[in-house]
Structure 1
Amino acid sequence: MDVAIALVACIVTLPIQCVIAILVYKNLGRPVLFRQARPGKDGKIFMLLKFRSMKPPLPGSPVPADATRLTSFGRALRASSLDELPSLWNVVKGDMSLVGPRPLLPQYLERYTPEQNRRHEVRPGITGLAQVTGRNGIGWDEKFQLDVKYVDSRSLGLDLRILAGTVLKVVQRDGISQPGMATMSEFMGNLTPGGGSSPIEENESNPSST
């Protein structure tokens, strides 16, 4: 069902994706797509696809904070969630599902507790229980609790409720970023007391050209 729905969605949204690609090129230049390694089911690494929403760092310079690279166009693209459309191809390829825990960064793998790591027992999703509950407006601990709750209680009915809730969240543009941050702070796990976060943000820090 994931592959069939995603394939149809890819075909239906192809004209929209072409328009967005042109707008990204005009507003942000190349690359149009953001490609980044992410862990999938059982921690297997795949390349996540999204439309780029930030300006690239200057060659040879330190990567600036996301807030300084996020333009008004990028903010609007992220708020609409249209930057996620290329991820449908990840679903078609079998790297992701429509619903599941969001794929995070590979360096987080060694920072999870065994319970948090259970989020990789299923394929990651374009949307998930944590996203319809609070998106980036909730903390890491609550996100991971919701991810594991989804793993333990996943069903077709729950997936349909999450998909419906995702549409509502997108329309409301709720929880797009963590309070006080341009996107979401880095998950530090046990590296800081209480599993806190550092000022480094995780989105589009090391994009690959395509």
Structure 2
Amino acid sequence: MKKRLSDILLSLALLLILAPVFLLLVVLQFLSYRGRVFFLQARAGKNGEIFTLIKFRTMTEARDVQGELLPDHLRLSRLGSWMRKSSLDELPQLLNVLRGEMSLVGPRPLLPEYLPLYNDEQRRRHEVLPGITGWAQVHGRNTVDWTRKFEYDLWYVDNRSLRLDLSILLKTLKPVLSRSHIYPVDSLTVEKFRGQSSANRPFLPQKSQP
């Protein structure tokens, strides 16, 4: 309850403080992407429940002659690249926090297609709400491999507290301000999780309660 209350209060405060920046970005996005301001994507949240993640759009819809989307690095716009480096594309996720789908701090929400690939230990990351930032994000962000990333996520699940959350929020400022660890080495995208060999049963998302 205390974590939820702090999430609501801090998210509202950040939205109020950053309202001019938010509105400016909406205008820039509208002009750059022909009215398509937000990027919406299904992600897996607490207990594997699926929700819609909200981000500012960073890539165009450019396609080849066959009508297929071009590779990510060819669709990343100049505005989008700047927003990713400054982490401003993540700003709309404060709305996900207010809706109770995310927390300010927690394991990053991943794609639903990864759910059947987790082993029993890895799926414990879904015991808590996903976060805008987390223990893995302050220990290398997108430059650490999947194995280490899961280790960081599970450490957070086992050691979470409001004091730790505050520490993570403060530690997040450094990589954001320095614009470090945004991309893996020699890549503009994060390699997809392919799973690990395991005899454990697949993890299936639970249905939301009415």
Q: Same fold (TM over 0.5)?
A: yes
Q: Name the stretch that deviates more: 35-44 or 4-13.
A: 4-13
Superposition deviation, residue 72 in structure 1:
2.2
1:23 matched to 2:32? The reply is no
User: Which residue of the other structure, out of 133, 138, 145, is the alignment partner of 2:139?
Assistant: 133
2: CA distance, partners of 1:3 / 1:72: 33
Give unpaired runs (5+ residues) of structure 2: 1-5, 198-210
Q: How does the TM-score come out when normalised to structure 2?
A: 0.87
1:7 matched to 2:12? The reply is yes
Cα RMSD, aligned residues only: 1.5
Give unpaired runs (5+ residues) of structure 1: 192-210
Q: Which residue of 1 aligns with 2:48?
A: 43
1: CA distance, partners of 2:186 / 2:195: 20
Asked if the contact 2:106–2:134 (Cα under 8 Å) also holds between the matched residues in 1, the reply is yes
1:56 matched to 2:52? The reply is no
| 1:10-56 deviation per Cα after TM superposition (whole angstroms, max 9, x unaligned) | 22222211101111222233311011111110001111001001112
Q: Which residue of 1 aligns with 2:188?
A: 182
1: CA distance, partners of 2:69 / 2:121: 32
Percent identity (aligned): 47
| 1:129-158 deviation per Cα after TM superposition (whole angstroms, max 9, x unaligned) | 000100101111111110000000011111
1: CA distance, partners of 2:9 / 2:112: 28
4+ long deviations beyond 4 Å: none
1:72 matched to 2:78? The reply is yes
Asked if the contact 2:29–2:56 (Cα under 8 Å) also holds between the matched residues in 1, the reply is yes
Superposition deviation, residue 57 in structure 1:
3.9
1:106 matched to 2:145? The reply is no
Superposition deviation, residue 61 in structure 1:
2.0
Q: How does the TM-score come out when normalised to structure 1?
A: 0.87
How many aligned residue pairs are there? Answer: 191
